[in-house]
Amino acid sequence: MTKVQVRYALLALLLPLLLNAAHILKDDLLRPEASKLIERMGDELFSKTGINEYVVATNENFPERFNLVAYSKKYEGNVSKPYVMLIFAPNAIITQKSGQKGRVALIPSSDVLRKLYTKSDVMDATIDVVASEDKNTKEDKFNIGIVQGFSELADQIATSKNVKLKTTIPNDTRTIIGYVKILVFIGTFFVLWIFILRPLWMRIKNGKQ
């Protein structure tokens, strides 16, 4: 084969990979199924809001207090503004003394974008899955956590823009919290009814009689 033919052959092999990794800047952890879900969600979010969402899934062993904002700058040549970058680093050391590992960072391209989502909710959606005790392997938890965090971030950005996404995944934790809030409200109402509202209603009723 000539050099030109070799170049075309390499381009034909690499182009599908490049096109299918528009929202994944680094992938040390993701399985193909998880990557596909992320790409679909990222594509839909961009098509409906014009906002890019990226993920960096790295197994690098970052030291304590490692600056993830500065680290994100290395990907500036591969991103398009406006964007929010989700960095998932399970091997990053939280504190050297405790030996705990695992950090998640959300890095927006502007303060305006920062207001479109609640950082703590997105981080909870990512971390809760990893911290849970179940039969899933560590690798499975990493994949589920990244996908769930990416989905939560996309949903929140879309909601801020009054847009509904079809490719995101329901956050089970958020649903459970919603149910708990309803139960608390109902319980509070019954307490008020039994100890305050009902006695008051009975006094008014008996007074009228």
pLDDT band at 135 (very low <50, low <70, confident <90, very high): confident
- Cα angle, residue 132 at apex, residues 127 and 135 outer, rounded to 5°: 130
198 belongs to a structural domain = no
Mean of all residue pLDDT scores within the chain: 83
Q: Are 72 and 87 in contact (CB under 8 A)?
A: yes
DSSP 80: -
99 belongs to a structural domain = yes
204 belongs to a structural domain = no
> What is d(CA 72, CA 52) in angstroms, rounded to the nearest whole number?
15
pLDDT band at 201 (very low <50, low <70, confident <90, very high): confident
49 belongs to a structural domain = yes
Domain coverage including residue 132: 3-170
Average pLDDT over every residue of 89-105: 91
Residue 187: what pLDDT? 61
Radius of gyration of the chain from Cα atoms? 24
Q: What is the per-residue pLDDT across 154-198, written as a single tens digit (0 to 9) for each? A: 999 999 999 999 999 876 545 444 444 455 557 666 667 777 777
The CATH number for 68's domain is: 3.10.310.50
How many distinct structural domains can be found in the chain? 1
126 belongs to a structural domain = yes
Residue 197: what pLDDT? 76
Check whether 150 has a pLDDT greater than 70.
yes
DSSP 25: E
Find tokens 């961009």 and name the residue.
46
161 belongs to a structural domain = yes
108 belongs to a structural domain = yes
Check whether 11 has a pLDDT greater than 70.
no
Q: What is the per-residue pLDDT across 48-81, written as a single tens digit (0 to 9) for each? A: 999 999 999 999 999 999 999 999 999 999 999 9
Check whether 142 has a pLDDT greater than 80.
yes
10 belongs to a structural domain = yes
Query: Is the torsion defined by CA of 202, 205, 208, 209 positive or negative?
Result: negative
